[in-house]
Amino acid sequence: MTGAFIADASVAVGWVHPGQATTQTAAMLDAIAEGATLEVPALWPLEVANALTVLVRRRKLTEDERQTALSWLRGLRLRVDHEASELAFSRLSALATDHQLSVYDAAYLELAQRRKLVLGCKDGALRKAARQAGVTLWDQATPSTFTC
């Protein structure tokens, strides 16, 4: 698969922690291996690093596993979108209010809308908001929905 898609932090955690993996997170990782580009808002690395740190605190991941995961994630081919900070007080806040999301989750939704890309996420509220907003979710996607 070529093209691009968006994946939230929960998906990335599934790539590096077996307890968080699903068939969909595995399929997204396969897509990246086949040449797809992962597009993420600039907050994505912060969210992923924080999630892995919390897993270490909860003793679900060792520090060595976290460091290995962070190193591997740094090697991913990413297209990082930096517009979210400019939109935080306007578009993102409105989306968060309209869909009862955190502003963080609204950043993924807004990016998917603006770039017209498929969204991969595991969060129920974000999935519901994406459906309401007309954003295609990974599990609803067909090859023709992936764009460059």
pLDDT tens digits for range 44-102: 999 999 999 999 999 999 999 999 999 999 999 899 999 888 888 899 999 999 999 99
DSSP the chain: --SEEEE-HHHHHHHH-GGG--HHHHHHHHHHHTTPEEEEETTHHHHHHHHHHHHHHTTSS-HHHHHHHHHHHHTS-EEEE--HHHHIIIIIHHHHHHHT--HHHHHHHHHHHHHT-EEE---HHHHHHHHHHTPPBGGG--GGG-B-
The string of pLDDT tens digits covering residues 36-55 is 999 999 999 999 999 999 99
Q: Which domain holds residue 129?
A: 4-145
Domain count, the chain: 1
**CATH number, domain with residue 106:** 3.40.50.1010
